Amino acid sequence: MTAIVRRLPFGLAGLVSPRLAGFLAISAVTFTVDLTVLTAVHGGLGWPLPVSITVAYTAASALGYLLNRALNFRSHGAVGPQVIWYGAVIIVNYLCCILGVTAALAALGIDYRLARIAAAVCEAVYMYTALRLVVFRDVTQHPASAQTRRR
């Protein structure tokens, strides 16, 4: 991610940290997993939509935790407290960002698809901030991040 961030155009290299870039890459993967599981269990197995959404979101969130812990934040903190904090973070995310923002914007007359995209932006900001400051707070700044900022 450090090498990718260094090559970002328009001065973005000074604004985007390697951890943020890693988070965005992992989020793209987990969003794909979310949609794939949702399609499989709802479209393929015929499960009810609310159950399918919950199963898909839970699976993608678990994968997101594992990938962010190991590959992005490289955390060595105790797993138990992290999982508890992560569970709280994803519950708030689900209720406030995914359901709350989407429903509120749709109620204001915004197309539900655009409302969901806006909610996804809120979700990304919230999740990155929560992972960085709450879930993986044991992680100090990665040396590569500090080098990128000095250049």
Tell me the helices (H) and strands (E) count for the chain, helix number first.
7, 0
Cα distance between residue 68 and residue 62, in whole Å: 10
Angle between helices 112-130 and 79-92 (to 10 degrees): 150
pLDDT score recorded for residue 141: 57
Other CB atoms within 10 Å distance of the CB of residue 7: 8
Alpha-carbon dihedral angle through residues 25, 26, 31, 32, given to the nearest 10 degrees: 80
pLDDT score recorded for residue 150: 47
Question: End-to-end alpha-carbon separation of the chain, Å?
Answer: 16
Mean pLDDT computed over every residue of the chain = 88
H or E, element range at 92:
helix 79-92
Q: What percentage of the chain reaches a pLDDT higher than 90?
A: 55
Mean pLDDT of 45-55: 88
What count of Cα atoms within 13 Å lies in the side-chain half-sphere of residue 143?
Answer: 0
pLDDT score recorded for residue 151: 47
Cα distance between residue 117 and residue 120, in whole Å: 5
So where are the chain's domains? Answer: 1-9+16-72, 77-140
Does residue 67 have a pLDDT over 60?
Answer: yes
Looking at this protein, which amino acid is placed at residue 39? Answer: T
Per-residue pLDDT of 9-33, as tens digits, reads: 898 888 888 999 999 999 999 989 9
CB 79 within 8 A of CB 120: no
Per-residue pLDDT of 96-138, as tens digits, reads: 988 889 889 989 999 888 888 898 899 999 999 999 999 999 8
Mean pLDDT of 57-72: 95
What's the whole-model pTM score?
Answer: 0.80
